[in-house]
Amino acid sequence: MELLRVENIVKAFGSTNVLNNVCFGLKPGEFGCLLGSSGSGKSTLLRIIAGLEMADKGEVMLDGSLLAGGRVFVKPEKRNIGMIFQDYALFPHLTVKQNIFFGKLNGTADAYREKLVEVLGLKALLDRYPHQLSGGQQQRVAIARSMMVNPQILLMDEPFSNLDEWMKEDVRDELKLILKELKTTVLFVTHHAADALSFADKIMVMDEGKIVQEGTAEHIIGKPVSAKIAGIFGKVNVFTAADLKRLFGLEKQPGTYFVKPEHFKTKEGADWTILNCAFQGSWYDVNLIKDERYLHVHLVKFAEPGSKTGIIPIENFIFREQL
């Protein structure tokens, strides 16, 4: 059974179509992510679910109840949905402590209060006001405040974008543990693949107002439907069928193919010239050239710039773009 169901959402601003028949659902306790570049429609969709924007067409259902669709429109404050805004939306006249505990608390909030404040690094800031905080500190207060109320689903708009890099990973991991323990259903938007991979159970990749692929991180990374989607999670090499035959001697049907850098192996021969080789911890980032064609691969051994090597894509990881 789905807790949240979004069905055929359409939204336009003037002559610009922002959302085109968007459909997806989330189960209770599931963490969903709308992943895409700026302008893909993900934040607009989040605001429609929250009730801050009205769709031109389509329905939003929460726990079997219609929130928006047809002549029905439930006001945002009546939807029992929590939301963390990218611009914080804190009360400037309230202290950090007052902001965090604003609104109705549920019965279990007190048990997590101290842990939440500690995880988010807010213990020493409780008596300060928003204008006395950095952007990252304000975002952490917004996260804490939204988690203290009792929403059926928590919506987050770029929740980690303003956190300091040195603490982002720790905050993501701790928040996930706490929200999973609370059995909270979460939907967040981001343009950072790392946030989606580390936080989401289900990823919906958005492009030009549509969900172009959805599934687990393993599914999308393992079987992307296009080079563009594959490229969201890192660099990708794009080939035509003619390229694969000329460069590697591989016979393929006409079309566009792509291979990620980690899906190559060395072979006999020395037809590729090493341009550079950078150590990345457990592997080397290598750029090569052959017949004026550049190639980006990951290798487990150092390759001397200027030397030559044989290289070939692993057959199982040559993907044909789905049109």
pLDDT in tens, 169-188: 887 888 888 788 778 899 99
Three-state SS sequence of 193-261? HHHHHHHCCEEEEEECCEEEEEECHHHHHHCCCCHHHHHHCCCCEEEEHHHHHHHHCCCCCCCEEEECH
Percent of the chain with pLDDT over 90: 72
What is the structure's pLDDT at 111? 61
Confidence of residue 323 (pLDDT cuts 50, 70, 90): low
Pick from 299, 275, 268: nearest CA to 289 = 275
HSE value, Cβ hemisphere, 13 Å, CA-based, for 266:
15
306, pLDDT greater than 70: yes
Q: What share of the chain is helix, strand, coil (3-state, %, to 5)?
A: 30, 35, 35
Range with lowest mean pLDDT among 49-63, 104-118, 169-183:
104-118
Residues 182, 184, 189, 192: is their CA dihedral positive or negative? positive
What's phi and psi for 272, nearest 5 deg? -110, 135
Least confident of 54-63, 82-91, 214-223, 277-286: 82-91
DSSP string, 75-107: -GGGS-EEEE-TT----TTS-HHHHHT-S---T
The residue assigned the tokens 């500190």 is: 137
Cα separations in angstroms, 45 against 9, 41, 90: 8, 6, 22
What does the pLDDT look like over 12-47, one tens digit per residue?
A: 999 999 999 999 999 999 999 999 998 899 999 999
pLDDT at 106: 54
Q: What pLDDT is stored for residue 108 in this prediction? A: 47
Question: Quick check: 280 pLDDT over 70?
Answer: yes
The fold for domain 4-231 equals Rossmann fold (3.40.50)
- pLDDT, residue 238, reads 97
User: Is 0.75 topped by the overall pTM?
Assistant: yes
Query: Given this model, what pLDDT does residue 312 score?
Result: 96
- CATH entry, 237-320, from 2.40.50.140, 3.20.20.80, 2.60.40.1120, 2.170.190.11: 2.40.50.140
Question: Residue ranges of the domains in the chain?
Answer: 4-231, 237-320
Q: Which residue has the tokens 């679910």?
A: 49
The answer to whether 44 and 54 have CB atoms below 8 angstroms apart is no
Examine the pLDDT at 68 and tell me if it is beyond 50: yes
